[in-house]
């Protein structure tokens, strides 16, 4: 807690002229004293009593967590705690799996980090297997650690049943996409016209990783390709065009057969 507050709408909301504006590396964003409480998000560092941007992007304020961050398109994934990621098993050891999630260092997945897993009854993942997991430990000094156990607040289903939220992803097709698209697809509260339009073409299963990977499982390969192309295409179009674009792609796909 620092100094006096500049309250606009609430105790934590700042009164910054640069909010929601483009910022460049080295730009002074605000004084620490302007906030009652602030969490430094990605792209913001503190130099003395001034908050400085380290990237090119739009300055955002997350009121829920009092977080100041710079929204930018970083191609290389940097692990952050709480992210949901899709990884590929690249090594098996006695107590852990080594999983590639796209970050600089491979992540560690403890062998028993599955709901209801014991030493005798646990999933055996081979090299090349896909997993959907949650990042449990992520900081700049350590290799990231992931887990397939249900987070607190979500009911845990045994890994044997195949109904648990995290775990191995069987079959399907994975592709890479920009992190901002993953953020849009993963939103639970808001509607996603692309996904609704695609579900009307044919039902399919999907997992979205914050690390820029999306997994799609559909009965027909053509549906998986259609879904991939639709999602990548709609990312560059305004929202009201999405339903129409999906419809056009689906008709073109059907007419080619």
Q: Give the binding site for other proteins (CB under 8 A).
A: 17, 24-28, 31, 43, 45, 50, 54-56, 72-76, 78, 104-105, 140-141
Asked if 230 and 249 touch (Cβ cutoff 8 Å), the reply is yes
Q: Which is nearer to other proteins, 21 or 252 (CB)?
A: 21
Give 215's contacts (C-beta < 8 A, 6+ positions apart). Answer: 86, 130, 132, 169, 172, 173, 174, 206, 207, 208, 209
Rounded Cα distance between 23 and 228, Å, is 32
C-alpha 227: how far from chain center: 18
Q: Which is nearer to other proteins, 202 or 228 (CB)?
A: 228
Rounded Cα distance between 27 and 50, Å, is 10
β-bridge mates for residue 88, sequence order: 100, 130
Count of Cβ atoms closer than 10 Å to residue 78 Cβ: 15
Q: Which is nearer to other proteins, 103 or 113 (CB)?
A: 103
Q: Which is nearer to other proteins, 53 or 113 (CB)?
A: 53
- Least Å distance between CB 79 and other proteins? 11
Q: How many helices (H) and strands (E) does the chain have?
A: 4, 16
Q: Which is nearer to other proteins, 77 or 215 (CB)?
A: 77
- Least Å distance between CB 89 and other proteins? 17
- Least Å distance between CB 103 and other proteins? 8
- Least Å distance between CB 40 and other proteins? 12
- Least Å distance between CB 151 and other proteins? 27
């Amino acid at each position: 807690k620092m100094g006096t507050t500049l309250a606009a709408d609430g105790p934590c909301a700042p009164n910054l002229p640069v909010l929601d504006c483009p910022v460049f590396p080295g730009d002074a964003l605000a004084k620490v004293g302007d906030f009652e409480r602030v969490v430094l998000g990605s792209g913001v560092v503190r130099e003395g009593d001034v908050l400085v941007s380290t990237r090119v992007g739009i300055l955002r304020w997350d009121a829920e967590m009092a977080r100041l961050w710079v929204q930018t398109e970083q191609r290389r994934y940097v692990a952050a705690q709480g992210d949901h990621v899709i990884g590929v098993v690249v090594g098996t050891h006695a107590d852990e799996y080594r999983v590639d999630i796209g970050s600089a260092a491979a992540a560690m997945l403890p062998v028993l980090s599955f709901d209801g897993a014991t030493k005798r009854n646990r999933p055996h993942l081979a090299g090349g297997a896909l997993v959907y997991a949650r990042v449990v430990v992520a900081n700049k000094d350590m290799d990231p650690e992931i887990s397939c156990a249900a987070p607190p607040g979500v009911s845990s289903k045994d890994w044997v049943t195949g109904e648990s939220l995290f775990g191995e992803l069987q079959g399907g097709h994975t592709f890479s996409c920009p992190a901002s698209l993953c953020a849009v697809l993963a939103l639970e509260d808001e509607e996603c016209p692309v996904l609704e339009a695609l579900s009307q073409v044919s039902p399919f299963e999907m997992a979205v990783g914050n690390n820029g990977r999306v997994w799609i499982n559909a009965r027909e390969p053509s549906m998986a390709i259609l879904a991939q192309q639709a999602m990548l295409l709609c990312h560059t179009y305004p929202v009201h065009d999405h339903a129409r674009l999906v419809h056009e792609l689906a008709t073109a796909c059907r007419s080619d057969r």
